[in-house]
Amino acid sequence: MKKVLLVGGAGYVGSVLAHELLERGYAVRVLDRMYFGDQGLADIRDRVEIVVGDLRAISPMVMENIEAVVNIAGLSNDPTAEYNPAANYEMNTTASVALARSCLQYGVKRYVYASSCSIYDFGVLDHQQDVLLDETADVNPRAAYSSSKFAAEKELLPLASNKFCVTALRKGTIFGFSSRMRYDLVVNTFIKDAMSKGCMRLHYGGEMWRPMVDIRDAARAYIALLQAEPDAVNGQIFNLVYGNFRISELALRIRETLHEMGIETEIRPDYAYKGVRNYRVSGEKLYRILNFRPKVSVEESVRTMVQEIRRGFCSDFENPKYYNINWMRTLEEAHKVIQVTGSVFNLREPASPLALSA
């Protein structure tokens, strides 16, 4: 039985991947800072090892008996990366490379890095650049998040050798239900807005392209890379995408699926300029080399999300925990208060007169 270290394994994608790994007979050790709690692992806590820790300061003990590492930790979208660019680079680049070097030191055979198709983003619509991009395309990411992912790739891939298999998976924009839910991803946001407000808003008219993939297919792709012959994937980058959609098309598909489920919603375009991402990506390399294609359609994923929400899961849509940047800000504000007040219910000793006069 292979033991996998899943870094970020309590997160949105990580918690789904942890379940999928267990179903395939892997032993799983999760390392996670637990910013969002461990709810995503609630039903498998007794079947995985959970280590609460920071990617930037991993104890050597965490690497014991590990055969493969999947690193899906770090800050995971543009708003959180822009909120603290230094921490974003520390986690997504510096610590991710240091983790790979630790793998080399402790004899770990395989390292899979969670990268992003946002590396291909060329911004607001430019028809001369509007082509299907594959892994050989020239890229020049500008945003903090995509730049940190690309910088990590450039340092990680040269570490590949006949003793150490390194692979980067550039995922399209993910959608789908997770027990550690996010409503700050475009399809998930549309579902939340449709069910809570009866309306889906299209920034920039929804004209931009986005490569999309369901969360379950993302988990399956990581496992395919773990199971692949090293010679087939070593030192390689793979794009993962179910399909490329204009945001307006996504809204139409979602509206029709919701209508079939008895939920009516409007689509309201907003043509005011806002910073938008725009890119189309080819996923053929993953199919050509590993015979892997994502299977879960937007419509199937929408139906699953709605069914879970109707069962009462993650239906408190305004909870800041479902929005990465909102939750980070909430934690920071709470930390500032607790530094002054101490724990909410524990008795705090009164300050001495000397301390008060200092």
Tell me the CATH class for 3-181+212-242+277-296. Answer: alpha beta
Q: Which helix (H) or strand (E) holds 104?
A: helix 96-105
Say how far apart CA 288 and CA 275 lie, in whole Å: 34
- pTM here? 0.93
Whose CA is closest to 225, among 236, 214, 215, 216?
236
Mean predicted lDDT score pLDDT of the chain: 92
Tokens for 331? 């934690």
Q: Each residue of 126-151: pLDDT tens digit?
A: 656 668 999 999 998 988 899 999 99
Q: Each residue of 217-271: pLDDT tens digit?
A: 999 999 999 999 999 999 999 999 999 999 999 999 999 999 999 999 999 998 8
Q: Each residue of 53-104: pLDDT tens digit?
A: 999 999 989 999 999 999 999 887 778 878 888 888 899 999 999 999 999 9
Q: Is the pLDDT of residue 38 over 50?
A: yes
Say how far apart CA 99 and CA 2 lie, in whole Å: 19
Instruction: Concatenate the DSSP letters of all residues of 176-199 into one string.
Output: S--SS--S-SHHHHHHHHHHHHSE
The structural domains of the chain, with segments of one domain joined by +, span 3-181+212-242+277-296
Assess contact for 73 and 52: CB atoms under 8 A. Answer: no
Task: Say what the pLDDT of residue 142 is.
Answer: 83
Tell me the three state secondary structure of residue 239: strand
Tokens for 199? 């309306």
Task: Say what the pLDDT of residue 347 is.
Answer: 72
Q: Each residue of 106-132: pLDDT tens digit?
A: 999 999 999 999 999 876 656 566 689
For residue 356, name the pLDDT band (cuts at 50, 70, 90). Answer: very low
Say how far apart CA 21 and CA 34 lie, in whole Å: 20
